[in-house]
Amino acid sequence: MGVQIAEILPKREIEIKELVGKKIAIDAYNWLYQFLSIIRQPDGTPLMDSKGRITSHLSGIFYRSSKLMEVGLKLVYVFDGEPPSFKYVTEERSEFRKESERKWKEALAKGEMEQAKMHAKASSRLTDEMIKQSKDLLSYMGIPVVQALSEGEAQCAHLCKKGLVFSTASQDSDSLLFGSPRLVRNLSITGRRKMPKRDEYYELKPEMIELNKTLESLGLKREQLIIMALLVGSDYNPGIKGIGPKKALGLIKKEKNLKNVLKAIEWNHEVSAEKIYDFYLNPPAKDAKLEFRPVQGEKILKLMVDEHEFSQERVEKVIKTLSESKQSTLGSYF
């Protein structure tokens, strides 16, 4: 879900070449759910091997990451740790996915393929096995994996603030609230997206959002941006009814701080606003040693081809390209 303030954040389209040679911290769960959502058959069924095991996540990681690495990006995948006890969306998401799965099967039975695919995308679940497989594949590709203490986006922000990476990459805006100096959205080489309910595609370019420029443009401090998240809704609270990003911005500019804002609204949520506010300001995070290692082609083939039946020819071609690109730049990775 993430905080819903992207529409008012100043952003600029960038070319992928602007990120060449730079380390980018990937919000792993954000991307994995993308892969599980979009890499599907026409009826909405996820990509699977002959044993019925879902492989959409492996396909997404392998092919998207390899394309980005081929042009010179240095990826770092950051995985979520233990969420804070007050993260309210976990149960809500679980119920939503169960309902989406029911609607998917119902639409399939009626032969309503467009509706089936739409509901199928919303039913995606990320399992412990998928997470382990993803980490293994990334390791074989020579990509550093960082296990966050808590929220992955908070850890991405920490790495970026420390200068260990250049930017965070996620579709959500939460890393900005956690203090990431930069956020890249739509990080992909192809950038093609299908129009909803239409057999047409449009080009979607990567976007850069810079925290300092965002705060300057909106006339806010980071603390006030966090208050905006509390008003419109985040992973930790459902927001205040009737308040969207623009109304929240006006209220914050008028009231200035959290104490005054809380006097102007009714906060009826179980978790206090102060607790969520403090979590955004001081989330659990750690330093990390980022080691970029050589590609382990044999292990990739065993996982992708022998175990999950991906095309050997295609996988070998990617391994060859990755190995060549890493061989020529390996010295710059350390």
Report the CATH number at residue 259.
Answer: 1.10.150.20
Please give the tally of structural domains in the chain: 2
The answer to whether position 317 is within a domain reads no
User: 83 and 147 share a domain?
Assistant: yes
The answer to whether position 224 is within a domain reads yes
The answer to whether position 311 is within a domain reads no
Number of residues that this document lists for the chain? 334
The pLDDT of residue 333:
37
Q: In terms of residue numbers, what domain contains 132?
A: 1-218
User: 4 and 133 share a domain?
Assistant: yes
Q: Answer for the pair 36, 126: CB distance below 8 angstroms, yes or no.
A: yes
The pLDDT of residue 7:
79
The CA distance from 61 to 44, in Å, is 19
The pLDDT of residue 334:
32
Nearby residues of 95 by Cβ (< 8 Å), 6 or more positions away = none
The CA distance from 94 to 180, in Å, is 28
User: 137 and 234 share a domain?
Assistant: no
CA 193 to chain centre: 17
Report the CATH number at residue 70.
Answer: 3.40.50.1010
The pLDDT of residue 327:
58
The CA distance from 237 to 3, in Å, is 10
User: 49 and 123 share a domain?
Assistant: yes
User: 146 and 277 share a domain?
Assistant: no
Bridge partners, 192 (sequence order): 203
User: Per-residue pLDDT for the chain (334 aa), expressed as one digit of tens each?
Assistant: 567 677 788 999 999 999 999 999 999 999 999 899 888 887 778 899 999 999 999 999 999 999 999 999 999 999 999 999 888 655 555 565 566 556 545 645 555 556 545 555 555 788 999 999 999 999 999 999 999 999 999 999 999 999 999 999 999 999 999 999 999 999 986 655 555 555 565 678 899 999 999 999 999 999 999 999 999 999 899 899 999 999 999 999 999 999 999 999 999 988 999 999 999 999 999 999 999 999 999 999 999 999 999 999 999 999 999 998 765 554 443 3
User: 143 and 22 share a domain?
Assistant: yes
User: 251 and 107 share a domain?
Assistant: no
Dihedral sign from CA coordinates of 117, 121, 124, 130: positive
The answer to whether position 301 is within a domain reads no
Sheet of strand 167-169: strand arrangement: 12-13, 207-210, 182-185, 167-169, 23-27, 74-79, 145-147
The pLDDT of residue 194:
54
